[in-house]
Amino acid sequence: SPAGGVSLRLCSTRVTLEGINKPVIDRIIRVDHAGEYGANRIYAGQMAVLGRSSVGPIIQQMWNQEKDHLKKFNELMVAYRVRPTVLLPFWNVAGFVLGAGSALLGKKSAMACTVAVEESISDHYNSQIRTLMEEDPEKYKELLQIIKQFRDDEREHHDIGLEHDAEAAPGYSVLKTAIQLGCKAAIFLSERI
């Protein structure tokens, strides 16, 4: 299967909404959908600039996984009856600009962007895993399995970025910090509106 062996299909298209903490689940699914949507736009921007370069196939491979993640969160949005963030049109543009902009600075800067974003997302997924474990690990077993698999995929993308000289990008620490501040703001806003 596309996401490292974990089935990306819901056990049932009908999710029992009875007894779930709807505000928590809505927030988690809304922000994760927004994050995966943004990641897709970042990789689209990087591919627009670097698609024919030596890192093109690597970026494409990571983007393909992000496409699977987004598809899954699209399904979860319907199953759990969660509305998307109203900021999707903004994330559409901002994600593409971030991806293309980092790629225009060079392959290393594109990989620095990947490291920054994927580290932020995997940390965020870890926070969600803790929340769901505190809520009810059995009740949210399927959602936990999905988030854990996607977190692992994001960590893999982070590591790929490091393997491809992200830390050698000009101004790496400044670039990484700026991108991660943007990610934190995007997470904060997408959870709420």
Q: Is the pLDDT of residue 10 over 60?
A: no
Could you read off the pLDDT of 100-149 as tens digits, one per residue? 999 999 999 999 999 999 999 999 999 999 999 999 999 999 999 999 99
Indicate whether 63 belongs to any domain. Answer: yes
Query: If we measure between CA atoms, which residue out of 180, 49, 167, 184 comes closest to residue 112?
Result: 167
Among 23, 13, 24, residue whose Cα is nearest residue 72: 13
Domain CATH number, residue 30:
1.20.1260
Residue 169 lies in a domain: yes
- Does some domain include residue 29? yes
For residue 17, what pLDDT is reported? Answer: 79
- Expressed in angstroms, the distance from the first to the final Cα of the chain is 33
Residue 6 lies in a domain: no
Report if residue 9 sits inside a domain: no
Q: Is the pLDDT of residue 157 over 70?
A: yes
Q: How many domains does the chain have?
A: 1
The pLDDT value recorded for residue 125 is 98
Question: What pLDDT digit, counting tens, does each position of 135-144 carry?
Answer: 999 999 999 9
Structure confidence at residue 1 (pLDDT) = 43
- pLDDT at residue 175 tops 90: yes
Under 8 Å between Cβ of 105 and 50: no
Residues comprising the chain, all counted: 193
pLDDT at residue 14 in the model: 54
Q: What's the chain's average pLDDT?
A: 93
Q: Is residue 12 part of a domain?
A: no
| 153 domain-assigned | yes
The pLDDT tens digits for 72-102 are 999 999 999 999 999 999 999 999 999 999 9
Range of the domain at 145: 22-191
Handedness of CA 63, 158, 125, 100 (dihedral sign): negative
Q: What is the pLDDT of residue 54?
A: 97
CB-CB contact of 48 with 100 (8 Å): yes
Helix or strand (DSSP H, E) at 86: none
